[in-house]
Structure 1
Amino acid sequence: MNLRTLYKHYLSELTSIYPDSEAKTLVMWIFEAHLSVSRKDILNNSPIGIIPESLEKAFTRLIAGEPIQYVLGEAPFYGRFFHVAPGVLIPRNETEELVQLIVQKHKGKVKILDLGTGSGCIAITLALECAKAEVTAIDISDDALAIAKHNAETLNAKLNFVKKDILQADLQLGTFDLMVSNPPYVLERERSLMQKNVLEHEPQLALFVPDSDPLRFYKAIAKHARENLKSNGYLYFEINEAFGVEVVEQMKLEGFSDIQIYQDINGKDRIVYGKKTELDKSTKPE
């Protein structure tokens, strides 16, 4: 058998469940990972001997709808590869923009808290890109923390990981210069708009919030920021594009100023950030 024949076979199978362009990309990814070949090798119609069992297993998982990042066990993020598994969300491009904004605006020695770290992609990237930063990352999931710790070790990043529930009243972690979170923000009613491979494989706990309380995590984190950010410290959120104004209002209630809504590369409201200012104690919200 030759590579072109095998490529066409896999492609014909995948185009039954994926758009043609996406199917081509997926086939190339598993070829590169399991055969160490490039598109040039396919164009040259290079021969292939025994098809590796690992390739067949990977293809079977793709046909079943499992995301390619879980199949390969890694996902790219901000120029690095992070180990991912069904216990954590797959890092998205929009979150890279969140990290980029922080890296650009905050230099020097800064103490950072990442709330709901998942794979650790935000916290680890900030620890590596901001050499003088002291980073702490929290998550409620043991699986997520294990994966994040593995990524930190693999990428030689030094930071602290702590098991905490964002929704608890007091995090008891001290004070910080900057807090950042990409919390669950997909509404339950938006399930029908999401791809099947996301719904069936990525952790629901990290994705969805009730339609009746879409700002559940933003409210809790803004209160933590009010208590745990130093004066003039910053809070950064990744948001559901439909709730930018509401997140801004919630931050105002907790004493933040200079609040900005930042649009992603696709022109959608995606990031909200602002600076903590001291409120008069008589007007400070409870």
Structure 2
Amino acid sequence: MGFFDRISQGLQRSRDKFKEEMNVLLDRGPDLDEEFWDGLEETLILADIGGAAACDIVENLRDQATRKALPDAYAVLDMLNDQIADTFTQGGQEILGGDPACVLFVGINGTGKTTTVGKLSKEAHDAGRKVILGSADTFRAAAIEQLEVWARRADVEMVTRERGADPASVCYDTIERAEAEDADLVLIDTAGRLHTSADLMRELAKVVNVVRKRSKLPVYTVLVIDATTGQNGLQQAREFNRELELDALIVTKLDGTAKGGIALAVSHELELPIIKIGVGEGLDDLRDFDAHEFARALVGAFDQRQA
């Protein structure tokens, strides 16, 4: 099964939910009246795409419908995939694209952050890069051991300290080791932080600031977000971005969720590119993000036979 097929399969619940709502809307007829536009915006919002993104998508489609004198709703829906793809924030290729970098991975517990860091380390090592891992999640019982398993699998060096050690000191040690080994990619796993805890977020901000000051490599802070959390994931992302000034997103657990639209909501509202998406537990289930493939998998296609 190709990766698009896996994305498509993973987003089937999201797509089915969206198409069900759209077909209800189309049953009333294909006229491009206010009821259609309002219904389209509401359907996009119900697909967890978010109010801001839904509003922009509909405004752009209305403008194109007027300029191109589109005949009916089906002509508009033919343009929906491209419009959704264009609504994602672009960029982020430099973070994991082969240039020297130090990347901090942040997020709440349970998003798949440690597994994501492990998969990325193997991918980079297999591509011939010199990778150093840092395990700055010194609080969660199994985090260090989990990352050690990935380090062995990827055949990369990992820096850590004893459980309960200061995470900022682990980051400092990791960067020193990376410089000594002339590593060109440093991946640091941080402890899961509840976005609702001011103290924990301040502590994480300290870790990020230490890395930004100490590293000679460009530093990027990437939020790993679980797609199944839906709109709660958007609130998480807002808080992390406010405290840490994020550079990009990785969206995990897109397989089987009915809330896949949240990827667009977060990317659009916070103006953050998505650099990877995960659709399963396997090593090959974390791939580069393609906005057009994602849009096609999220909403599918419409024609008059479906209405």
Q: TM-score range by the shorter chain?
A: 0.3 to 0.5
Which protein is richer in strand relative to its size?
A: 1
User: Taking CA–CA contacts closer than 8 Å with sequence separation of 6 or more, which of the two structures ends up with the larger relative contact order?
Assistant: 2
Which protein is richer in helix relative to its size?
A: 2
TM-score normalised according to structure 2 size: 0.35
